[in-house]
């Protein structure tokens, strides 16, 4: 309950070119790498922008050094652009995983996008490279925290259809 770090989100992510509408923060303490991970979603309509703002602390002190990234989240399907909402956040020893519901900038829902970012470069401030997976049948996915440094998988829970629970 003790405040250890405070800054406005726009100041924290300044220098990345983020717009004024950043929302849905998530945070966890990565017990495998002993650091803090924070994300915000970013959305803009003119131009159509959807990004994930990702920050990784270089150690267990959130008042210290952070490595910050602005990662593409906009998706285009059949000429229609979609933005990421309601992000999920998890990790394992190898990657940070972000999920999100993909909504059209007009109207409509496409499914869930997963953004997988290898952890190793993030820990030292190296370049972030993302891989993208799309699931048109999922929604409102939440990603697990995999604490075992020997496991090479990440689990996710999704609402499938109107009444099922899907585990990936």
Pairing verdict, β 156-160 and 22-30: unpaired
SS3 142: strand
Structure tokens at 57: 């602390």
The phi, psi pair for 139, rounded to 5°, reads: -165, 155
Of 99, 144, 89, 96, the residue nearest 121 (C-alpha): 96
Quick count: other Cβ atoms within 10 Å of Cβ 158?
A: 21
User: Which pLDDT tens digits describe the chain residue by residue (168 residues)?
Assistant: 889 899 999 999 999 999 989 999 999 999 999 999 999 999 999 999 999 999 999 999 999 999 999 999 999 999 999 999 999 999 999 999 999 999 999 999 999 999 999 999 999 999 999 999 999 988 899 999 999 999 999 999 987 767 788 898
């Amino acid at each position: 309950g003790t405040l250890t770090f405070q800054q406005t989100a726009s100041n924290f992510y300044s220098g990345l070119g983020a717009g004024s509408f950043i929302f849905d923060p998530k945070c966890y303490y990565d017990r495998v790498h002993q650091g803090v991970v924070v994300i915000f979603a970013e959305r803009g309509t003119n131009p159509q922008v959807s990004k994930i703002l990702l920050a990784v602390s270089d150690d267990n002190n959130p008042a210290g050094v952070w490595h910050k990234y602005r990662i593409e989240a906009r998706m285009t399907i059949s000429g229609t652009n979609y933005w990421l909402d309601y992000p999920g956040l998890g990790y394992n020893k190898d990657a940070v995983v972000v999920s999100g519901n993909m909504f059209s900038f007009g109207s409509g829902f496409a499914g869930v996008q997963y953004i997988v970012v290898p952890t190793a470069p993030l820990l030292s401030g190296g370049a972030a490279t993302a891989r993208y997976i799309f699931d048109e049948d999922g929604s409102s996915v939440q990603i697990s925290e995999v604490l075992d440094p020997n496991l090479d998988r990440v689990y996710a829970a999704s609402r499938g259809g109107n009444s099922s629970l899907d585990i990936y």
